[in-house]
Structure formats: structure tokens, C-alpha cells
Amino acid sequence: MKVYFLGTGTSQGIPVIGSSHPVCKSNDPRDKRLRVSVWISWENHSFVIDCGPDFRQQMLVSECPKIDGILFTHEHSDHTAGLDDIRPFNFRQGNIPIYLHKRVLESLKRRFDYVFETVDKYPGAPSVEPIEVVNGQNFSIGDKIAIPINVMHGGLQVFGYRIDNFAYLTDVKTIEQSEIEKLKGLKVLVVNALREEPHHSHFNLEEALDFIKILQPEKAYLTHISHRMGFHEEVQKQLPENVFLAYDNLQITI
């Protein structure tokens, strides 16, 4: 399975608009971070997790040729605002399955009402096939099984997903022991780490590293990163040897 990091930044992206912070001014391409998303693919299967405001640009840069489905983690805009840009895939493929919590579907129906219109729907509007994700109920994507992982983003429920020995968890602040049990024996864990200072709804670096110590994946990649985390080059040097800061356009094979 190939994992392509389409975006690794927190909700504003890096650089932040109008910011003169040194990380926002950095010339290192690894310090430029679009909003978080990954593209996972194997054989002829191709899925993305989340579809944020940078989706169009991410699809162009990665040259993603098709999408068999979108797995949503939660409804926040940095994870969903790109939904309108799935249209080129619709024109070639038809409806795109979207896997999501019932609450997230309700949110999308309010915010993208025209996508879900059943009467006189505008020709050319995006078209999706919603598939409800329920915690405790694994589902198939292509010929693989996806295991939903229930986590909390402050007071908001968020789904992470495990597929084989890979797990993607973003916007986590707390996680129950029963969910941790589903994450044993990972080859690759992707988890959010916002910055060094604590945050009410995201792991900071220390919390993410503690979490990685508990799970002991072979390798861990940090994502959903703020400019306040610091320069990629400098932060990477301080990390344990099996922990890496992800960066946009990084591709790994599992």
C-alpha cells in the first residue's frame, strides 16, 4: 500500500495568510503545509482520507487519477471544504462513495445542500454515495477492511481509520483504552501533533510522542502541524529515531 501525504498542515495551512513568522517565511518546501489529507492506494484501488480546502491543488500535484471513495474523519472545514472539487472525478467515474459518521453527513447536507438535492439538482453538481460509518463496525474499501477508531477532538467525536498495519488518526486529543486496543501491531501510525504548547483539542508534540510510546508502531509520522511547531529540519532532529514529521508530497510504501 502506498500512502501519499497530500497535506500536513493545521487548519490555516502554512504559510498563514499575512504572517511574518519565520516558519511561514521559510524557503524549505517541507515547511509549506496544505491542509491535512492522505491518498492511499494499492493495486488498482485509490482512496483519500478527508477532502479539505486544498483538495483541488492536491489532486493536481499528486496526479491522482481516480478516487474509489473518501473517508471523512469529521466535519471541520479543513477536512471537508473541498467537496465541490470532486466533480472532475464524478464526470469520469460517476458517484463517489463517501464514508462518514451520520453527524458528519448531516453537516455536509447543510453546508453543501446542492450536492444532496433530490429535486431539479443542478447538472454537474458533485454527486456522492454516502455510507455511514459506525464505531465497532468494520467496512470494506476495495479488497481491504477499514476499522474505524473512535477518538475525541476536545468535545467532538472524530474517526480515525486503520487499514491493515497502517492507521491514520488526526485531530485527536483523547482516546479511550478500548480504541487503543485496535491500534496494536502497527507498521505505520500517522497521528496529529500541533505544536509544543498544549492545545484544548489537539495533541501537542509531547502528547503525541507519549501516545506513540504506548502503541509502539514500527514508524510514526506526525501531521496536522502548526507553524508554531518550528522549522521542519530542526524539529525532526529532536524526534526519536522511529518518529518523523510528515511533509507535503511525502510518499511511503507499507
248 binds Zn ion (CB under 5 A): no
**Is the distance from CB of 67 to CB of 96 less than 8 angstroms?**
yes
Which of 200/237 has CB closer to Zn ion? 200
Distance in angstroms between the alpha carbons of the first and the last residue of the chain: 5
**x/- track of binding to Zn ion for residues 26-65 (CB under 5 A):** ----------------------------------------
Per rule CB under 5 A, count of chain residues that contact Zn ion: 2
Least CB distance to Zn ion at residue 65 (A):
27
Stretch of residues binding Zn ion (CB under 5 A), selected from 17-25, 119-127, 165-173, 179-187:
165-173
**Cα–Cα distance for residue pair 147/198, rounded to 1 Å:** 29
Least CB distance to Zn ion at residue 54 (A):
12
Stretch of residues binding Zn ion (CB under 5 A), selected from 24-32, 107-115, 155-163, 168-176:
168-176
78 binds Zn ion (CB under 5 A): yes
Please count the other Cβ atoms lying within 10 Å of the Cβ belonging to residue 53. Answer: 20
171 binds Zn ion (CB under 5 A): yes
Where would I find the beta strands (DSSP E) of the chain? 2-7, 37-42, 45-49, 69-71, 96-100, 128-132, 139-141, 144-153, 156-163, 166-169, 188-192, 219-223, 243-245, 251-253
Stretch of residues binding Zn ion (CB under 5 A), selected from 112-120, 127-135, 137-145, 164-172:
164-172
Least CB distance to Zn ion at residue 31 (A):
19
Please count the other Cβ atoms lying within 10 Å of the Cβ belonging to residue 160. Answer: 26
Sequence-distant (6+) residues with CB within 8 A of 126 are: 83, 84, 86, 87, 90, 96, 112, 115
**Cα–Cα distance for residue pair 58/115, rounded to 1 Å:** 21
Least CB distance to Zn ion at residue 107 (A):
14
Which of 171/207 has CB closer to Zn ion? 171
Stretch of residues binding Zn ion (CB under 5 A), selected from 48-56, 76-84, 88-96, 225-233:
76-84
Residues that bind Zn ion (CB under 5 A): 78, 171
